[in-house]
Amino acid sequence: MSRSSARGRGLRLGRRIRALRRREGMTQARLAEHLGISASYLALIEHDRRPVSAELLVRLARVFRLDLAGLAGEEDERLAADLLEVFGDPSFDSQEITRDDVLDLVATHPAVARLVLRLYHAYRGARETSDALALQLSDGADRPGVPGARLPSEEVTDLIQRHDNHFPALEECAERLWRDAGLEREDLFSGLARHLDRSFGVRVRIEKVARMGRAVRRFDPVRRELMLSEVLRRGSRNLQLAHQICLLSLRPELDRIASDPRLTSEASRTLCRIALANYFAAAVVMPYDDFLAECRETRWDIELLGHRFRAGFEQVCHRLTTLKRPGREGIPFFFVRVDIAGNISKRFGAGGIRFPRFSGLCPRWNVHAAFLTPERVNVQLATMPDGTSYLMIARTLPRRHGGGYRAPLAVHAVGVGCDVRWARDLVYADGLDLADPAAAVPVGVTCRLCERMDCAQRAFAPLRSELQIDPDVRGLSFFAPVDPPGRGEPPAS
C-alpha cells in the first residue's frame, strides 16, 4: 500500500490546506494564483471534493515552506487518532463531540489539540495515582511510589512512531561495522567479539546464571569486560554484542536522536538510547539489503528468516517494521505485543493502523487468540469498520527469565500485519480467499471507537451510543441489539 493511500483514510488534506492558508493570512484567490489553479477549484479541494495531485502537493509544500511529510500531516493523523480515543473516555459521554469536530481541531489548531492530549495524560496519571493510593490505604500494603502522568515508554514509542521506525544513520553505521570489522554471517559472534577486543579493549565472557544475578548482559567499564548469560541463544548473544558496540561507539548519534524535546525526562532519554541500540543491533544481525532479499525469497516467512539470521520470532517481527529505505522499501508492517491480560507492551502503527493508547485492543484480533494455541503461528484476515482489510500473523512467545526449571515463566503474544493488498506476497495468505468478505473477521481498534453493535465480545458501549438494557430480553451482550420476535436466527443454546 502506498503512503498516500494510507493517509487518505486519515485526515482529509483539504482541512490541512485551509488551516495553513488561514495561518498565513492568505485569501483563496491569492493561494490559487500561487498554485496556478482557479479559486473555485481550490475551494473544492479545501472541502475535500477534489483530489490533490502530486504536482500540486509539491507546489503547496513550496508555498508553505514545508516538506511533503509535514504537509500531508502524518503526525496530525496520529494526533487525531489519539484524540478520538481520548474523547471515547466515559468522562465525555455527555458531550456531543464528533469525528469531524476532532479533525477540525487538529487541522486548524494543532497546538491546542496537543495541549488537550497532554491534559488528558495528566488526568489519567492523577486518576491512576488516586486509585493506587486508595488501594494502598484499603489493604495496608507498603508500596513504592506511584507512576507519573507521562510514562517514559510512551514518550519513546511516540518518538519511534514519528521516525516511522526507520533510522538511516543507524542503518549506515551497521553496514559500516560489517565492512570495518570484516564480519561474516556464519561466524558473526566471533567477528563481533574480536571487534570489541581490538577497537575497545573489551573482552567477552560467557557466565553462569548464578554469577549474572538474573541479568543477561553485564558490562564492567573498569575491567573492560562484557559478560553474557549462558541462557542466551547464539542469535541473542550476537544481538547483545552489537548492542554493546553501539553504546560504546555511537553515543553522539544516540544523544542527537534522544535530544528530542518531547522526551521530557532523563529516564525517557535513557530508554530511547537503549531502544536505538536495540535497533542498531538488529540492523547488524539482519543487514538491510540481505534481510530484504531473504524476505522476498522466503515470501516473508518469519520462522525461516529467524533460522537464516539466527534471530527470534519477535526480533524478526521488529525488523520487518523497519524496512523503509527510499527505493528499497519492504512491506509496511504494523506490530503489537500483548500479555495474557491484554496489556499492550509494544506497538507500532503502519498501513493505516493505529493502536489504542489509553484502552484495551479489540479482543477479536488474533494476537489474543494466539494464547489458545501456544507457539503456533495464527493467521487472520481482519476487516475494520471502514472496510479496510488486514492480514495479521500472531504467535505466543514463552520465556523463562534466568533459565532453569525454577525460573519464572513469562508469556507474551506478538503480532505483525499489513494491508490486505500486500497479502499475496506473503506465504501466510496461501489458501485464504482474500476476495470473500465473509472470510474476514470483523475487528476494531477498541470498543469505545468501534460502532459494531453485533459483537458478542464488546466490553463497553460505543462512544456515541447509550447503554439500553431491557430486563426482559437477553441478547449476545448488553450492548448488542436484539431483533423483534420472529426475525433473525434462533438464539444459541
Mean pLDDT along residues 116-128:
76
* pLDDT of res. 98: 76
Separation of alpha carbons 282 and 405, rounded Å: 29
* pLDDT of res. 286: 98
* pLDDT of res. 476: 64
Reply yes or no on whether the pLDDT at 160 is more than 60: yes
In sequence order, the β-bridge partners of residue 219 are 226
Reply yes or no on whether the pLDDT at 72 is more than 80: no
Instruction: Determine if residue 165 is left, alpha or beta; phi over 0 gives left, psi from -120 to 50 gives alpha, anything else beta.
Output: left
Q: Alpha carbon 320 to chain centroid distance?
A: 12
pLDDT digits (tens, 9 = 90+) for 48-62: 788 777 778 778 878
Say if CB 276 and CB 251 are below 8 A apart: no
Least confident of 11-15, 264-268, 304-308, 402-406: 11-15
Set of cell numbers at residue 443: 475487528
Separation of alpha carbons 427 and 431, rounded Å: 9
Q: Give the residue with greater pLDDT, 256 vs 21.
A: 256
Q: Give the residue with greater pLDDT, 351 vs 463.
A: 351
Separation of alpha carbons 293 and 315, rounded Å: 17
Q: What's the chain's length in residues? A: 493
Set of cell numbers at residue 248: 560504546
H-run or E-run covering 39: helix 39-46
Residue carrying the nine cell digits 465473509: 438
Separation of alpha carbons 186 and 79, rounded Å: 44
* pLDDT of res. 355: 82
Q: Structural domains in the chain?
A: 3-115 (1.10.260.40), 168-285 (1.10.10.2910), 328-449 (3.30.450)
* pLDDT of res. 485: 67
Separation of alpha carbons 219 and 202, rounded Å: 9
* pLDDT of res. 13: 73
User: What's the burial of 481, exposed, middle or buried (CB within 10 Å: 0-12/13-18/19+)?
Assistant: exposed
Q: Give the residue with greater pLDDT, 82 vs 296.
A: 296
* pLDDT of res. 479: 65
Reply yes or no on whether the pLDDT at 268 is more than 90: yes
- Residue 102 — very low, low, confident or very high, per pLDDT cuts 50/70/90? confident
* pLDDT of res. 244: 97
Q: Give the residue with greater pLDDT, 178 vs 141.
A: 178
Eight-state DSSP code of residue 264: -
pLDDT digits (tens, 9 = 90+) for 238-251: 999 999 999 999 99
Say if CB 31 and CB 21 are below 8 A apart: yes
Least confident of 175-184, 214-223, 295-304, 342-351: 342-351
* pLDDT of res. 125: 67
Reply yes or no on whether the pLDDT at 458 is more than 70: yes
In sequence order, the β-bridge partners of residue 225 are 203, 220
C-alpha dihedral (232, 238, 240, 246), degrees to nearest 10: 180
Reply yes or no on whether the pLDDT at 145 is more than 50: no
* pLDDT of res. 469: 67
H-run or E-run covering 391: strand 389-400
* pLDDT of res. 106: 78
Closest to 365 measured CA to CA, from 386, 342, 331: 342
Q: Give the residue with greater pLDDT, 297 vs 3.
A: 297
Q: How far apart are the first and last CA of the chain?
A: 43
3 state SS of 143? coil
Mean pLDDT along residues 273-294:
98
Neighbours of 252 (CB within 10 A): 7
* pLDDT of res. 129: 59
Quote helix, strand, coil % in the chain, to nearest 5: 50, 10, 40
Reply yes or no on whether the pLDDT at 21 is more than 50: yes
Which residue type does 368 have? H
Least confident of 215-224, 427-436, 483-492: 483-492
User: What's the burial of 426, exposed, middle or buried (CB within 10 Å: 0-12/13-18/19+)?
Assistant: buried
* pLDDT of res. 182: 95
Q: Give the residue with greater pLDDT, 103 vs 423.
A: 423
Q: Under 8 Å CB-to-CB from 452, ≥6 apart: which residues?
A: 385, 442, 444, 458
Q: Give the residue with greater pLDDT, 425 vs 486.
A: 425
* pLDDT of res. 84: 79
Mean pLDDT along residues 64-73:
62
* pLDDT of res. 468: 65
Which residue type does 153 have? S
Say if CB 345 and CB 338 are below 8 A apart: yes
Set of cell numbers at residue 345: 507492551
Reply yes or no on whether the pLDDT at 140 is more than 50: no
* pLDDT of res. 484: 65
Q: Give the residue with greater pLDDT, 122 vs 490.
A: 122
Set of cell numbers at residue 188: 558473526
- Residue 274 — very low, low, confident or very high, per pLDDT cuts 50/70/90? very high
Set of cell numbers at residue 158: 511516540
Eight-state DSSP code of residue 149: S
Q: Give the residue with greater pLDDT, 238 vs 490.
A: 238
Reply yes or no on whether the pLDDT at 395 is more than 70: yes
Separation of alpha carbons 186 and 21, rounded Å: 57
Query: Kind of pairing, strands 334-339 and 344-348?
Result: antiparallel
Reply yes or no on whether the pLDDT at 90 is more than 50: yes
Set of cell numbers at residue 237: 548473544
Mean pLDDT along residues 319-332:
96
CA angle 400, 374, 299 (to 5 degrees): 105
* pLDDT of res. 478: 64
C-alpha dihedral (366, 370, 375, 379), degrees to nearest 10: -20
Least confident of 316-325, 327-336, 348-357, 457-466: 457-466
Reply yes or no on whether the pLDDT at 143 is more than 60: no
Closest to 367 measured CA to CA, from 389, 391, 349: 391
Query: Kind of pairing, strands 217-220 and 225-229?
Result: antiparallel
Eight-state DSSP code of residue 377: -
- Report pTM: 0.73
Separation of alpha carbons 188 and 178, rounded Å: 10
Mean pLDDT along residues 88-102:
72
